[in-house]
Chains A and B, each alone.
Chain A
Amino acid sequence: MAAQMTDAHRRFLQVLMSHGIMEGSEARKLHKCCCEIHKVYYAHDKLDHFITTINSHLQPLFMQIRKGMSEGDGRAHYALVNLAETEITKLASDYAENELELFKKTMDLIMLSENGFASSTDILNLADQLKTKKMKKKEAEQMLKVFVENKWLSERNGEYTLHTRCIMEMEQYILTNYPDTARKCNICHTLAVQSQVCESCGTGMHLPCVRKYFKAQTEPRCPQCNTTWSCDIPGACLRDSQSPSGTWRAEKSFTLSAR
C-alpha cells in the first residue's frame, strides 16, 4: 500500500520538475525545506523513502525520479525522467523536428567518438545534412546553446557531451540503439559515455569509478585481465601524467581538480 503524497512530496516534485536534475546535496536541502514548510515529519536519511513514495504515484504516468552518477565528478544526482515512448510523447516534445534531428545526430557523434565528446565544428557541419528541414549554422549554434541550457548537453572547451540528465533518461535508449559502440562501466554496470579503457581486454570504467577502485591500490591493475592499468588515474595524487613505457594508450586522460 503506497504511502500518501503530502504537499511536501508535491512541492518536492514540482521543484525537481522545473529543474530537471538536481545534485544530491541540493536534493537533500530541498527535502528538508519541503518538509519544514508543510510541517511533515522529516528525517535527514529518509530522502530515498520520500522519493519512493513519489515514484509510486508517478508510475502510472510513466515518469520516475531516478538517481544516477555524474560522469565528471562522480556525484549522485536526482532527475525526473520520462519512461514512455509513445505517439503522444512525440507530439508533446519541446523541440521542432529538425532540432530533434540535430540532437540525434549529435548523440550519434558523441557515441561514436572515442572519448565521448563531439567537437562543435563537427556538429555544425551536420546542420547542412538535416533531412527534415535544413538549418543554418547560426541556428544550429543557437540550438546547441538551448540544449546546454536545458541540460541535455554539456559543453567543455568547445566540445559537447551528453549531460548527466540526458544519460540518466536515455540510458536504455542508448543501450538499445548503439549496441556496438555503447560501453558499460565494469564497476557499476551502467552506461559509460566517457570512459577509460583497458587496451588489452577492452573493459571500460567511468573515471570516478576508476578513481574509487584504484584508490587503495598501489599498483593499478585491470580488474578483468589483471594487466597494469596505464591510463592516468584521475585526481589520485599530484603526479604528472607518467605514461609508462609500454604499448598501452590512454583513451582519455582526465585529471580532476583536487576537492
Chain B
Amino acid sequence: MLSSKSNRLTEALEEANKLFSGVSCAREAALDAQFLVLASNLGKEKANELHSEMAAFDSLVFAEDLLTFMGINRIEVEENNNDSEGISAGYLPSNAWHKLGEETEKYFRRAPSFHYMLGSFKSDPPVPKQRIERQKKMTGEEGIRAMPAQLKKMEESHQEATEKEVERILGLLQTHFKNDPETPISFFDLVIDPNSFARTVENIFHVSFIIKDGLARLKLDDDKLPIIEPSKDESREDDHGAGIRNQAVISLSHQEWKEIVETYEITEPMISHPSHRNEDQMDIA
C-alpha cells in the first residue's frame, strides 16, 4: 500500500467514504474515525518515502558553495584539532553580498511597492494653539535691576549700642557726682524708670556693666538700701589684683517695681531715654 506506484491507499479511503453513508450508530462512526487516523499515518509514511528518492538539501554544503561564489579569501588556519574539518575560515571581500545580489536578481521579478506617509492618517483640524511668541522678544530695556537690599549705612550695631548706653550712664553718674560729691546716689533712684518696666531692667543691665568694670561700686548704706558711687582708679586695681569677685543677682518683678516707684516717689527717670533709637539704615537701590 505504501509504494508510490500503487493507489491502494486512495482506493481504501474512497471505500471508507462510501461505507460511511450507511452508518447509523456511533460505534460504526468511531470505527470509521479510527480507520481515517490509520490511513493518514500510512499516508505520512508514504510521503516520507517520497522524499528519500530526492537528494536532500544540505544547508552546510550550500553555505560553503555560497561563500566560494562570493569570493571568500581563505586564511591559512593553524592546525586546530577541536574544529571540525569542514568549516572554512576567511574574510569576504567588500562586494561579496553585491555579487550574490546581482546573481539572484535574475530569479526574482518583483516590482517595488510604493511607500508613503502622507494620507496615512487623518489630519485633524489644526488646534488653535496660542501663538508661541518666538518672534519679537523685546529684550530692549533690561528692566529695573533689582539688587538685593544693601547695607549702606550702619549706624550702630546692637553690640555697640549697649556700650554706648553704658558709657552714657557712666557719664551721667560721674557728672552727678562731680556736682554733688558727698551724696551717693540711691541705686533705685538711678535705674528705676517709673514709666517703663522694660527700661528699668535695661538700666540695671547697663549699670551692671559699669560695676563689672569696676568703674562704680554698689554698697548698702546705713538704711540697708543699695547705693551706687563711682570708684577711684586705685580701688579698681585692687579689685583686679585681689581677684575677688563678688557676684550678686538682682531680681525685680513687675510688682516690686511698682512698689518701689510708689515708695521712692520716683516721678521721672534719671537715665533719660536715648534720643532716637538708630537702626541700621537699608538702602534699596
Chain A contact residues, CB within 8 Å of chain B: 14-15, 17-18, 20, 63, 80-86, 89-90, 93-95, 100-101, 103-104, 112, 114, 150, 152, 166, 169-170, 173, 176-181, 197, 199-202, 247
A-B contact pairs, 10 of them (CB 8 A): A15-B112, A82-B118, A89-B116, A100-B121, A101-B121, A103-B117, A170-B117, A176-B123, A181-B132, A202-B134
Q: Most chain-A Cβ atoms within 10 A of its Cβ — which of B116, B129, B135?
A: B116
Across the two chains, which residue of chain A brings its CB closest to B136?
A: A202
Within 8 Å by CB of B123, from A93, A101, A173, lies A173
Question: How distant is B232 from chain A, measured CB to nearest CB, in Å?
Answer: 71
Report chain B residues within 8 Å CB of A63. 114
Within 8 Å by CB of B136, from A17, A178, A180, A201, lies A201
B136 in contact with A200 (CB, 8 Å):
yes
Question: How distant is A41 from chain B, measured CB to nearest CB, in Å?
Answer: 25
Question: How distant is A70 from chain B, measured CB to nearest CB, in Å?
Answer: 17
A247 in contact with B118 (CB, 8 Å):
no
Question: How distant is A106 from chain B, measured CB to nearest CB, in Å?
Answer: 12
Report chain B residues within 8 Å CB of A247. 139-140
Main secondary structure of the interface of B (DSSP, over half): loop
Across the two chains, which residue of chain A brings its CB closest to B130?
A: A180
A170 in contact with B118 (CB, 8 Å):
yes
Interface size class of B (residues with CB under 8 A): 20 to 34
CA distance A179 to B123 in the complex (A): 13
B118 in contact with A178 (CB, 8 Å):
no
B93-151 CB contacts (< 8 Å) to partner A: 111-124, 126, 129, 131-132, 134-137, 139-140
A18 in contact with B112 (CB, 8 Å):
yes
Given A176-B123, A177-B123 in contact, is the A114-B134 Cβ separation under 8 Å? yes
Report chain B residues within 8 Å CB of A179. 126
Across the two chains, which residue of chain B brings its CB closest to A100?
A: B121
B118 in contact with A202 (CB, 8 Å):
no
Report chain B residues within 8 Å CB of A104. 121
Within 8 Å by CB of B126, from A80, A100, A112, A177, lies A177
Question: How distant is B101 from chain A, measured CB to nearest CB, in Å?
Answer: 13
B126 in contact with A84 (CB, 8 Å):
no
CA distance A218 to B182 in the complex (A): 96
Report chain A residues within 8 Å CB of B126. 176-179
Q: Most chain-B Cβ atoms within 10 A of its Cβ — which of A84, A93, A178?
A: A93
A100 in contact with B118 (CB, 8 Å):
no
Report chain B residues within 8 Å CB of A84. 118-119
Q: Most chain-A Cβ atoms within 10 A of its Cβ — which of B113, B118, B124, B132?
A: B118
Within 8 Å by CB of A89, from B119, B124, B135, lies B119
A90 in contact with B114 (CB, 8 Å):
no
Within 8 Å by CB of B135, from A17, A150, A177, A202, lies A202
Question: How distant is A140 from chain B, measured CB to nearest CB, in Å?
Answer: 17
Report chain A residues within 8 Å CB of B112. 14-15, 17-18
Report chain A residues within 8 Å CB of B132. 112, 180-181
Across the two chains, which residue of chain A brings its CB closest to B120?
A: A93
Report chain B residues within 8 Å CB of A197. 134-135
Q: Most chain-A Cβ atoms within 10 A of its Cβ — which of B111, B112, B117?
A: B117
CA distance A18 to B110 in the complex (A): 11
Report chain B residues within 8 Å CB of A15. 112
A94 in contact with B115 (CB, 8 Å):
yes
A17 in contact with B134 (CB, 8 Å):
no
A180 in contact with B120 (CB, 8 Å):
no
Contacts A90-B119, A112-B132, A180-B129 aside, 16 further interface pairs with beta carbons under 8 A come to A17-B112, A82-B117, A82-B118, A82-B119, A84-B118, A85-B118, A86-B119, A90-B120, A93-B119, A94-B115, A177-B124, A178-B126, A181-B132, A197-B135, A201-B136, A247-B140
CA distance A80 to B112 in the complex (A): 12
Report chain B residues within 8 Å CB of A169. 116-118
CA distance A17 to B121 in the complex (A): 21
Question: How distant is B198 from chain A, measured CB to nearest CB, in Å?
Answer: 56
Within 8 Å by CB of A14, from B111, B131, B134, B140, lies B111
Across the two chains, which residue of chain A brings its CB closest to B122?
A: A90
Report chain A residues within 8 Å CB of B113. 17
Report chain A residues within 8 Å CB of B140. 247
B59-82 CB contacts (< 8 Å) to partner A: none
Question: How distant is B85 from chain A, measured CB to nearest CB, in Å?
Answer: 40
B135 in contact with A201 (CB, 8 Å):
yes
